[in-house]
């Protein structure tokens, strides 16, 4: 997570947006916000208990980074 926090800082002024996707049903929204805050990540956290976002991003492990172009295409 330190690397993610660094990337967020480095690219925030370049129009790059970051968010975390959590597919774990047992993780509450409050716990996810706390996780991000504890690690200094000022980015949205998305609960994805149905795996719709993970499937769209073709993410198949945790953690995994995915780059999405402005048009919505996976890079």
Domain boundaries, the chain: 2-57
pLDDT of residue 11: 87
pLDDT tens-place string over residues 9-54: 898 888 888 888 998 889 998 998 898 889 888 888 889 989 999 9
Helices (H), 12-67: 29-38, 52-57
pLDDT of residue 17: 86
Question: Residue 65 and residue 10: Cα distance in Å, rounded?
Answer: 16
Question: What sign results for the dihedral spanned by CA atoms 1, 60, 75, 68?
Answer: negative
CA 72, chain centre distance (Å): 15
40, 5 Cβ separation under 8 angstroms: yes
Q: Which helix (H) or strand (E) holds 7?
A: helix 2-11
């Amino acid at each position: 997570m330190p690397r993610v926090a660094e990337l967020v800082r480095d690219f925030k002024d370049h129009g790059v947006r970051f968010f975390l996707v959590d597919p774990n049903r047992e993780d509450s929204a409050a716990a996810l916000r706390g996780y991000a805050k504890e690690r200094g990540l000022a980015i949205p956290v998305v609960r994805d208990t149905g795996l719709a976002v993970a499937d769209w991003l073709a993410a198949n492990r945790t953690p995994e980074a995915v780059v999405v172009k402005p048009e919505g295409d996976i890079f």
